[in-house]
Amino acid sequence: MLIRKLFKFENAHIVRNCTSDRCKRSIHGHSYKVELILKASKLDHGQMVYDFGLLKGVIKELIDSFDHAICFWNADDTAYIQACKDFSARWVSLPVSPSAEQFSRVFFFLAQEVLKSTNTQNGEGDVSVYSVIVHETDTGYAQSFQEDIDNDQMGILSLDQIEFSQQIQAEWSNNQMYEDLKNGIKFNNPQVELQVPKA
């Protein structure tokens, strides 16, 4: 079974090496919509794939980190990167271009890492990310699947290569959240008292 959760954020970027002159030479922004689609072959004690309320935690905070931020490819010109850091308190450094395609891979990767690092406590099954769709405009989106995350030709993703500015980290409910994720420290979902006995 699949479920879908929608997230929204505003972000600025330059997409180097693309065909469009406007996109590769000028900072510009988009109103992004991110569809996170989860799958499981078993339902939890509430008969859900994964409680939507749980997606308002670490996964939402990581996606929201991109809101009102500028994203840049860490291989870009050093002067441009420094200018992004100097003139924006909210920035995200990526090991890949901040294109819609790569955003879909980055969000898939981050959500999957969070799920793998979460202790579930309500009988959840094999919950995993099925797909991520990133709408960059009303008419264009990119969609990624697990094979795209595993495809090194598309760029290698690692937690160590994604960097969030100090301002972004300061706004997290737990400013150690990303370090915890990188260091394999588990997140704990709330314990649940069952009102209806398990069958």
What are the boundaries of each domain within the chain? 2-188
Catalytic residue among 23, 35, 45, 171: 23
Catalytic residue among 30, 68, 163, 171: 68
Task: Confirm whether 71 is a catalytic residue.
Answer: no
146 near 129, Cβ under 8 Å? yes
Q: Which CATH superfamily is domain 2-188 in?
A: 6-pyruvoyl tetrahydropterin synthase/QueD (3.30.479.10)
**What would the two tokens of residue 107 be?**
């969000």
pLDDT tens, N- to C-terminus, the chain (199 residues): 999 999 999 999 999 999 999 999 999 999 999 999 999 999 999 999 999 999 999 999 999 999 999 999 999 999 999 999 999 999 999 999 999 999 999 999 999 999 999 999 999 999 999 999 999 999 999 999 999 999 999 999 999 999 999 999 999 999 999 999 999 999 999 999 999 988 6
Answer positive or negative: Cα dihedral of 9, 11, 15, 20. Answer: positive
Task: Confirm whether 136 is a catalytic residue.
Answer: yes
Task: Confirm whether 23 is a catalytic residue.
Answer: yes
